[in-house]
Structure formats: C-alpha cells, structure tokens
C-alpha cells in the first residue's frame, strides 16, 4: 500500500518490472459529470445540475465512510494543475503504464452512475461513461480495454447497453459492483449474464456499491477499515449467490471476475459450499456439480489488495488451493492501496506461474491476443 507517499509533482521513479503485465483494475476518472455531457442528453445535464445523482447513502457527495486519503487516491497521482488522479491518460501512462510495462489494462470507471436511485439517470450516466471510455482512453491507447458500465438495477436497460457495445473490440467486460440491491445471483440480474455471455464479455464485479443494506448481517459498522475489510465478505456472498442460484448452470460459459474483494478466502468458501451442498442439495436441485467445480470453471479473482500472510509463502499455498489459473494481477491504480507489481507478490513462483498470474490468465479470460 502507498500510505506514506508525499504529495510530489511530476512523474515518480517506479521500479521497473521486466515482465509485461496485465493490470486488471485501473480506474480512469472524469473531472465530474461535466466531462460526460458531450454524450448526454440536455435533459440529464439539467437534471444533474439541479438534483445531482443520489444514491442509497446519506450525502450528496462522497462515500458513506470517509476514505483514508482524498478520493482514496495515491497522493503522488494528482496532476500538477490540481486535476485528480486517473483523469489524464498521458500522466497515467507516464506514472504507471510505461514504467510498469502494462501491456493490457482493464478500465473500471467507478462513480459512473451505477446504483443511482433514479434508474433513467443511472442509465444516462452509464451510457455516457462508455462513450467517454472509448473517446478519451481506449481509442488513444491500444493497451487499454474498456468495461461496459451498466445500470444493473434496471437489467433491461443494462442489456441494451451491452448490446450497443457487443462486438466492439475496445470492450472486454461488463462492469457491475458487489453491493447491489439484491444478491447478484438472483434472477432479476440474469438478463445481464445472458447478454454478456452472448457478447462474449467477461462480467467483472468490483467491490463497493450502494444497495442500501448494511455491509454486515449485524448492522452498520463504525469504521472505514471495517467497510474495506468487509468488501471481502461481500464478495464471498456474491460468489455464494451466483453459485447457489444456478447462474453457472444456466450460463455455463459465463466468465465472472471478482475485482478488489480479495482472493485468499476463495479456498475456504469452496470447502464450505461443498460441505453444505452435499447435505442440503435437496433444496437446490438445479445444481449438477459441486459448488467448487463452478468456481473453478467460471470464476476468477484479481489480486489487489493482495492478502499478506506472514510468512508470505502461505499465499502460494492458498493459490495452490484456488488454482493459479484463477488469479489475475491488478494494481488498482491510482488508489491509495495500489499494489506495486514489483513488490506485491513476494512469493516463490515458477516462471509459468508468474507469467500466468501477471499476464497470461488475463489474456485468456479477456480473450485478448
């Protein structure tokens, strides 16, 4: 994590990583909704100016739990002119893509209208965000691939948006968030999976969101650290829901990537799901395979923020359980808890394992040659 980095201007020397890498979680950022106005009807521009976009949380702006750093960003990722981290391609390339030798970067724009209370507004912001991703990012840098940001609480609108971009070479996945209004395996969301599978797009499910429910089954916690740790618990609930509802039975070639929710928990969750399903399968007759088999076939995990056991070798043991082919390297640039590819995985890996985690798995999952 980059917690002690001072507020310095200009590019920073970053350790050179010899290996070409895929970064499966990069956050481009607008300068506010105005950046998206060129792709938005006047009606929604006016709406945003007057009413803003509100979410199932208390404040007009900012998250329910104040972040650890402004915008949850690295202090050295602000531009000298004051523009926020992630808002400028040239600076991102200079600070991150070039020195870290990122040859494939998956863009996950957050704060892009997903989960907004007004479903039509949510749709308008998502649509404009997708146009902006192409215009400002992927058309200018071929290393970058975009996510179709969808208004997932309105699955019909989400499907239309997926279909609008299906076949477009710049888009590699459909982006959803973990904290939805209902667990993501439930049928209201199935049209999204059907459309993603048909378009051969990965479904990326990033931590965070605005479902309105407490992040724990015991109510609202007090602290940001509880929320941040809690995203791993939410990701476990997401996988549980997808598996037990039969999503992977219905959509057998669906590829789901869990982003920024942790990875090491996947082994224990698979053991638990298998053990309980063996006893309780009468309740879930649509499942034809062990839950762990669906996880091994249909689910991947990005690394950042990678768990840090002591000793670190225990992480390799955990990857053995989960499957090295399931692990996708990610930095979360430009956020404060960025994982530096030169330091984030200090475990002994064979050369094939290293290549798989840092590049090849991502190319396979996202279908990028």
Partner 1 sequence: MTSAPIDCDLHPTVPRLSALFPYLDEMWRETAIRRGFDEMNTISYPANTPLTVRNDWRDAKGQGATTPQQLAAQALAPFGTGTAILNCLYGTSALFSDDLQAAFCRALNDWVAHEWLDRDARLRASIVVPLTNAELAVDEIERRAKDSRFVQVLMLVSGEVPLGRRQNWPIYAAAERHHLPIGVHAGSTYRHPTTGMGWPTSFTEDYVNQSVAFQSQLSSLLAEGVFAKFPSLTVVLMESGVSWLPAYLWRFSKFWHGLRSEIPWVSDPPASIVRERVRLTMQPFDGPSDAAGIDRLINQIGSDDMLLFATDYPHWQFDGDQAIPPLVSAGLRHKMMVENPLRTYARLRETVP
What's the closest the beta carbon of residue 182 comes to partner 1, in angstroms?
A: 4
Residues 232, 11: Cα–Cα separation, whole Å:
32
Query: Residue 359 interacts with partner 1 (CB under 8 A)?
Result: no
Q: Choose the stretch contacting partner 1; rule: CB under 8 A; options: 14-22, 82-90, 141-149, 215-223.
A: 215-223
Residues 134, 228: Cα–Cα separation, whole Å:
30
Query: Residue 63 interacts with partner 1 (CB under 8 A)?
Result: no
CA 185 vs CA 123, 161, 239: distances in Å: 21, 20, 8
Residues 104, 48: Cα–Cα separation, whole Å:
34
Scanning the chain, the segments in alpha helix (DSSP H) are 42-50, 89-92, 119-133, 155-165, 190-198, 224-244, 247-250, 265-280, 291-298, 313-322, 351-355, 361-366
What residues does 171 pair with on adjacent strands? 146
Number of residues that bind partner 1 (CB under 8 A): 70
Count of CA atoms in the C-beta half-sphere (13 A) of 209: 33
Footprint (CB under 8 A) of partner 1, residues 166-195: 178-184, 186
Query: Residue 20 interacts with partner 1 (CB under 8 A)?
Result: no
- Rule CB under 8 A: choose which of 50, 61, 80, 222 binds partner 1: 222
Q: Per-residue contact track with partner 1, 302 to 341, x per CB under 8 A?
A: ---xxxxxx---xx-xx--x--------------xx----
Query: Residue 15 interacts with partner 1 (CB under 8 A)?
Result: no
Instruction: Report residue 245 as tokens.
Output: 């509802």
Per-residue DSSP letters for 149-177? E--TTSHHHHHHHHHHHTT-TTEEEEEEE
**Any idea which residue has 């070479």 for tokens?**
169
Footprint (CB under 8 A) of partner 1, residues 139-168: none
Residues 331, 190: Cα–Cα separation, whole Å:
30
Query: Residue 31 interacts with partner 1 (CB under 8 A)?
Result: no
Q: Choose the stretch contacting partner 1; rule: CB under 8 A; options: 77-85, 139-147, 241-249, 349-357.
A: 241-249
Instruction: Report residue 345 as tokens.
Output: 């995985």
Query: Residue 68 interacts with partner 1 (CB under 8 A)?
Result: yes
Residues 174, 87: Cα–Cα separation, whole Å:
21
Q: Choose the stretch contacting partner 1; rule: CB under 8 A; options: 13-21, 128-136, 194-202, 237-245.
A: 237-245
Query: Residue 75 interacts with partner 1 (CB under 8 A)?
Result: no
Query: Residue 277 interacts with partner 1 (CB under 8 A)?
Result: yes
Query: Residue 3 interacts with partner 1 (CB under 8 A)?
Result: yes
Query: Residue 288 interacts with partner 1 (CB under 8 A)?
Result: no
Q: Looking at beta carbons only, is 33 or 294 nearer to partner 1? A: 294
- Rule CB under 8 A: choose which of 111, 113, 209, 323 binds partner 1: 209
Q: Choose the stretch contacting partner 1; rule: CB under 8 A; options: 25-33, 250-258, 300-308, 361-369.
A: 300-308
- Rule CB under 8 A: choose which of 71, 236, 303, 331 binds partner 1: 236
**Any idea which residue has 């749709």 for tokens?**
123
In our burial notation (b when 16+ CB lie closer than 10 A, e otherwise), range 46-71 reads: ebbeeeebebeeeeeeeeebeeebeb
Residues 316, 44: Cα–Cα separation, whole Å:
49
Query: Residue 271 interacts with partner 1 (CB under 8 A)?
Result: yes
Q: Looking at beta carbons only, is 100 or 304 nearer to partner 1? A: 304
CA 244 vs CA 66, 212, 295, 321: distances in Å: 34, 23, 11, 21
Q: Looking at beta carbons only, is 86 or 305 nearer to partner 1? A: 305
What's the closest the beta carbon of residue 78 comes to partner 1, in angstroms?
A: 19
Instruction: Report residue 86 as tokens.
Output: 């992630």
Contact set with partner 1 (CB under 8 A):
1, 3, 68, 178-184, 186, 209, 211, 213-226, 228-230, 232-234, 236-238, 240-241, 244-245, 262, 264-265, 267-269, 271-273, 275-277, 279-280, 282-284, 305-310, 314-315, 317-318, 321, 336-337
């Amino acid at each position: 994590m980059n917690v002690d980095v001072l507020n310095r201007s200009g590019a920073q020397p970053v350790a050179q990583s010899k290996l070409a890498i895929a970064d499966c979680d990069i956050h481009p950022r607008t300068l506010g909704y105005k950046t998206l106005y060129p792709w938005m009807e006047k009606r929604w521009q006016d709406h945003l100016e007057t009413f803003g976009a509100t979410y199932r949380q208390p404040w007009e702006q900012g998250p329910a739990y104040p972040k650890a750093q402004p915008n949850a960003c690295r202090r050295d990722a602000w531009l000298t002119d004051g523009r926020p981290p992630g808002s400028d391609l040239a600076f991102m390339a200079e600070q991150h893509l070039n020195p870290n030798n990122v040859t494939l970067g998956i863009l996950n724009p957050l704060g892009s209208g997903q989960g907004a209370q007004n479903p039509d507004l949510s749709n308008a912001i998502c649509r404009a965000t997708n146009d902006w991703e192409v215009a400002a990012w992927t058309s200018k840098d071929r290393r970058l691939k975009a996510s179709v940001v969808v208004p997932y609480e309105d699955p019909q609108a989400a499907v239309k948006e997926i279909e609008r971009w299906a076949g477009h070479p710049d888009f590699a996945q459909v982006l959803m968030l973990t904290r939805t209004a209902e667990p993501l395996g439930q049928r209201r969301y199935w049209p999204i999976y059907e459309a993603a599978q048909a378009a051969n797009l990965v479904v990326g499910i990033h931590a965070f969101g605005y479902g309105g429910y407490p992040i724990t089954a015991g109510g609202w916690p007090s602290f940001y650290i509880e929320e941040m740790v809690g995203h791993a618990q939410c990701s476990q609930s997401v996988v549980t829901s997808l598996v037990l509802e039969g999503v992977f039975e219905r959509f057998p070639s669906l590829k789901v990537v869990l982003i920024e929710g942790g990875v090491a928990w996947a082994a224990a969750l698979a053991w638990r799901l298998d053990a309980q399903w063996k006893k309780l399968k009468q309740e879930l007759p649509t499942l034809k395979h062990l839950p762990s088999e669906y996880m091994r076939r249909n689910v991947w995990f990005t690394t950042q923020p990678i768990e840090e056991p002591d000793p670190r070798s225990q992480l390799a043991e955990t990857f053995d359980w989960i499957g090295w082919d399931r692990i996708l390297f990610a930095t979360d640039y430009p956020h404060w808890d960025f994982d530096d590819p030169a330091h984030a995985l200090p475990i002994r890996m064979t050369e094939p394992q290293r290549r798989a985690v840092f590049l090849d798995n991502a190319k396979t999952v996202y279908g990028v040659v």
